[in-house]
């Protein structure tokens, strides 16, 4: 499990070490835009059936690697496995995203929550990690992940995503102590979950703070950033070359990048509403940066995609004193089902070609 | 039509003149959270039937004034009346927001677009403005409004809101000249529309840039800010005390406030992801500021609402060298249908009471 991947560009970039070209992977790279994914899903029946079956999760995780020259695999799973294991009853309605049968609505609901056992209640995730590592044969590193405490809590309290977050914000304002209790137990679970994924073989870990950006600055610091910091500081992940890097991705985290850079995480994922140049200036070389092409760029023509890739690569270098190290190329958010796989190939190949050429000078 | 409203706090604050207390109105203050609005809507049949009938639009515009001590009325209408008048066929699906029957999909579609005639195709809007002014009897000023060119174009190209904006972003990337043609004709229409509302009696004008925040900084400057600037500079709105103030509201406009402050607009509307303190520092007293309580605060308890109101008032004063002038209190976005009218009363009364008390010493 400790063997070094043959392609370690991704891990080297997260450590801000020199690489031959900029590594790239894409959020939601294993997904419905791939016909082979849709075929597997049809066979499995549903998204959740896929995620809960380690063989299928492994199969789907590896699909984009068979097509594209990407530098990392990411576990096929969901950000809501933890509350599902806590008994909230995760389900999906086609076109509406995840929902919970039993959302958390009261102090009593919160008091009943406990950190799930990772090798029983969430064993399917760890089995998937182990199986993927075996099947990957060290071709590229495997990323494990979790939702952020705030983002998970949003779904737990609202019962669904994409709302105006009225319930959880009312709790934050009227009864912050209850919300802190909820975030506390979720954070304990996230730390245990990421530790277990690491023990099972994950070589990098990412936290998705999808909904941090819906908060006011004061509420972001109190209810999201605080718990991201706790994860970065308490998650035991080794030292030196053996250290498992932690990436904190957050939609709308632009205003908080300098604070996040002091969290102890090795890398920050940035969305497209901040330039990489600006993100470099705010983080001052303390962390690696991952991002940040607008996913909608994949709807543009191949020539336009190549131009936008080069522009993002150069924006990073401009902010990083001309150096291209410490950059992992990615989108600023996940891919959509109606995107063209051939455009993904154009993007991935251009990241490698243009960043290699620019390094050679 | 040129008579001065008896309560001119709102207009004085937009001119950064001293006022006895901070004026307040709320985006979507005439809306489904009011039982009397729901009754009128049931009678009229639909949102669009209400907006297109001047008597009903007037009735609904005045409803919140009969309940709350608010300092401005805002025309009851929609941000998509312009493309509807251009022939795109606006319609609403319950729970899904506005859609167009004939979205703009090609250069030919764009070439066919023309600025509608304001006193025929959009006469129902101007008639509503005239009727509301008459019924208001100068109690408070009336705000006219429009969507921003970028926001209107998003709906015109996507055919609906809330998407990932893939079509319009692909157009921006692949064929920017076509998108600029579209934005050009829409901007001409917005300028003519706001001028006509002013001529009909609107005493302040607001542009809603709901979707500017979904853009990368480079695309925001090219496709949204540029056209907001054109509106601010070309819209003839008088001089001195007779000048009709223009407010540019934008969700996610925090990173661009210093540029927007140089646009020529009298005031900027700010969402809750930026503090008023920070917004003051970025705008340096060049403009008045409107905002910015998180609408979800209205789900909190009355005591919490009062605390958050005071905190926003003080955030503004802290950034504005201790002065509370130049601030119009508002939410950072529109109200939701499930909000409690009694909580609105608490908010409005606290804005007046706390800001008056703080001004006295």
Residue A112 has pLDDT above 70, yes or no: yes
**Out of A167, A216, A300, closest to residue B174 by CB:** A300
Average pLDDT over residues A69-93: 96
User: Using a CB-CB distance cutoff of 8 angstroms, which residues of chain A are in contact with residue B170?
Assistant: 296, 299-300
Cα distance between residue A20 and residue A357, in whole Å: 9
Tokens of B266: 């009298």
DSSP-assigned beta bridge partners for residue A269: A249, A290
Cα distance between residue B207 and residue B186, in whole Å: 13
- State residue A61's pLDDT score: 98
* Active-site annotation holds for A91: no
User: Using a CB-CB distance cutoff of 8 angstroms, which residues of chain B are in contact with residue A173?
Assistant: 297, 299-301, 304, 308
pLDDT tens track for B253-267: 999 999 999 999 999
Rounded to two decimals, the pTM is 0.96
Decide if B327 contacts B313 (C-beta within 8 A): yes
- State residue A97's pLDDT score: 85
Q: Which of A352, A246, A341, A262 is nearest to A306 (CA)?
A: A352
Average pLDDT over residues B209-237: 98
* Active-site annotation holds for B67: no
Q: Quick check: helix, strand or coil at residue B142? A: strand
Cα distance between residue B63 and residue B61, in whole Å: 6
- State residue B74's pLDDT score: 98
pLDDT band at residue B2 using 50, 70 and 90 as cut-offs: low
Task: Work out whether strand A97-100 and strand B327-331 pair parallel, antiparallel, or are unpaired.
Answer: unpaired
- State residue A257's pLDDT score: 98
* Active-site annotation holds for B209: no
Element (H, E) at A142: strand A142-147
| Token pair 């119009």 in the structure block, residue | B328
Active-site pick, A8, A12, A133, A155 = A155
The torsion region of residue A85 among left (phi > 0), alpha (psi -120 to 50) and beta comes to alpha
Active-site pick, B9, B12, B16, B41 = B41
Distances (CA, A) of B291 to A266, A268, A272, B70: 36, 31, 25, 14
User: Using a CB-CB distance cutoff of 8 angstroms, which residues of chain B are in contact with residue A213?
Assistant: 273
pLDDT tens track for B305-338: 999 999 999 999 999 999 999 999 999 999 999 9
Residue A192 has pLDDT above 80, yes or no: yes
pLDDT band at residue B164 using 50, 70 and 90 as cut-offs: confident
CA of B303: which chain A residue's CA is closest? A174
pLDDT band at residue A300 using 50, 70 and 90 as cut-offs: very high
Average pLDDT, chain B: 96
pLDDT tens track for B38-55: 999 999 999 999 999 999
**Out of A219, A254, A296, closest to residue B164 by CB:** A296
Residue of A164, A298, A312 to mutate, testing the B interface (most B Cβ within 10 Å of its Cβ):
A164
Q: Please enumerate residues of B whose Cβ is less than 8 A from a Cβ of A.
A: 164-167, 169-170, 173-174, 213-219, 252, 254-255, 272-275, 278, 294-297, 299-301, 304, 308, 336, 338
Residue B284 has pLDDT above 60, yes or no: yes
- State residue B97's pLDDT score: 85
pLDDT band at residue B3 using 50, 70 and 90 as cut-offs: confident
A169–B294 C-beta distance less than 8 A: yes
Residue B151 has pLDDT above 70, yes or no: yes
Core vs surface per residue A203-228: b (16+ CB within 10 A) or e: bbbbbbbbbbbbbbbebbebbbbbbb
pLDDT tens track for A23-47: 999 999 999 999 999 999 999 999 9
pLDDT tens track for A42-75: 999 999 999 999 999 999 999 999 999 999 999 9
B300–A338 C-beta distance less than 8 A: no
* Cis amide prior to B110 (ω within 30 degrees): no
* Active-site annotation holds for B324: no
Q: Quick check: helix, strand or coil at residue A329? A: strand
* Active-site annotation holds for A155: yes
Q: How far is A261 from chain B (nearest CA, A)?
A: 19
Distances (CA, A) of B21 to B13, B245, B317: 9, 19, 13
Count how many Cα atoms sit within 13 Å of the Cα of residue A114 in the half-sphere of its side chain. Answer: 5
- State residue A2's pLDDT score: 58
pLDDT band at residue B94 using 50, 70 and 90 as cut-offs: confident
User: Using a CB-CB distance cutoff of 8 angstroms, which residues of chain A are in contact with residue B275?
Assistant: 216-218
Residue B118 has pLDDT above 70, yes or no: yes
B213–A169 C-beta distance less than 8 A: no
Task: Work out whether strand B246-250 and strand B204-209 pair parallel, antiparallel, or are unpaired.
Answer: parallel
Distance in Å from the first CA to the final CA of chain A: 37
Average pLDDT over residues A112-122: 97
B336–A173 C-beta distance less than 8 A: no
Average pLDDT, chain A: 96
Decide if A324 contacts A317 (C-beta within 8 A): yes
In degrees to the nearest 10, what's the CA dihedral of A164, A165, A166, A172?
-150
A308–B173 C-beta distance less than 8 A: yes
User: Using a CB-CB distance cutoff of 8 angstroms, which residues of chain A are in contact with residue B166?
Assistant: 296, 299, 336, 338
Average pLDDT over residues A139-164: 94
The torsion region of residue A31 among left (phi > 0), alpha (psi -120 to 50) and beta comes to beta
**Out of B164, B217, B273, closest to residue A213 by CB:** B273
Instruction: Let me know the angle formed at the C-alpha of B125 by B122 and B128, rounded to the nearest 5 degrees.
Output: 150
Cα distance between residue B42 and residue B31, in whole Å: 13
Which class for A236: exposed (0-12), middle (13-18), buried (19 or more C-beta within 10 A)?
A: exposed
Q: Which of B229, B316, B326, B314 is nearest to B286 (CA)?
A: B326
């Amino acid at each position: 499990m400790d063997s070094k991947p043959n392609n370690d560009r991704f891990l080297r970039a997260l450590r801000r070490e020199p690489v031959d070209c900029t590594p790239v992977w894409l959020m939601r790279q294993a997904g419905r835009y791939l016909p082979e994914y849709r075929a597997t899903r049809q066979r499995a029946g549903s998204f959740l059936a896929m995620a809960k079956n380690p063989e299928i999760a492994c199969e789907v995780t590896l699909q984009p690697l068979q097509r594209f020259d990407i530098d990392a695999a990411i576990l096929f799973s969901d950000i809501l496995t933890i509350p599902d294991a806590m008994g909230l009853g995760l389900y999906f309605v086609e076109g509406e995203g995840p929902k919970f049968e039993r959302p958390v609505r009261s102090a009593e609901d919160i008091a009943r929550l406990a950190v799930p056992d990772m090798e029983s209640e969430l064993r399917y995730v760890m089995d998937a990690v182990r199986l993927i590592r075996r099947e990957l044969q060290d071709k590229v590193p495997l990323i494990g992940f979790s939702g952020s405490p705030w983002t998970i809590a949003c779904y737990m309290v609202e019962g669904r995503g994409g709302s105006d977050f009225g319930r959880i914000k009312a709790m934050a304002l009227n009864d912050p102590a209850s919300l802190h209790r909820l975030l506390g137990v979720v954070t304990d679970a996230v730390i245990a979950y990421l530790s277990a994924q690491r023990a099972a073989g994950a070589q990098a870990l990412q936290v998705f703070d999808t909904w941090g950006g819906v908060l006011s600055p004061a509420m972001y610091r109190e209810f999201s950033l605080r718990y991201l910091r706790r994860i970065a500081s308490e998650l035991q992940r080794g030292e030196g070359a053996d250290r498992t890097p932690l990436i904190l991705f957050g939609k709308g985290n632009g205003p908080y990048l300098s604070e996040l850079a002091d969290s102890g995480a090795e890398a920050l994922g940035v969305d497209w509403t901040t330039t990489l140049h600006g993100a470099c200036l705010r983080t001052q070389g303390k962390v690696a940066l991952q991002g940040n092409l607008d996913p909608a760029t994949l709807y543009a023509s191949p020539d336009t995609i190549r131009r936008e890739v080069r522009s993002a690569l150069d924006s990073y270098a401009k902010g990083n004193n001309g150096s291209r190290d410490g950059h992992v190329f990615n989108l600023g958010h996940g891919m959509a089902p109606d995107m063209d796989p051939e455009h993904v190939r154009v993007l991935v190949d251009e990241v490698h070609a243009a960043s290699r050429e620019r390094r050679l000078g």
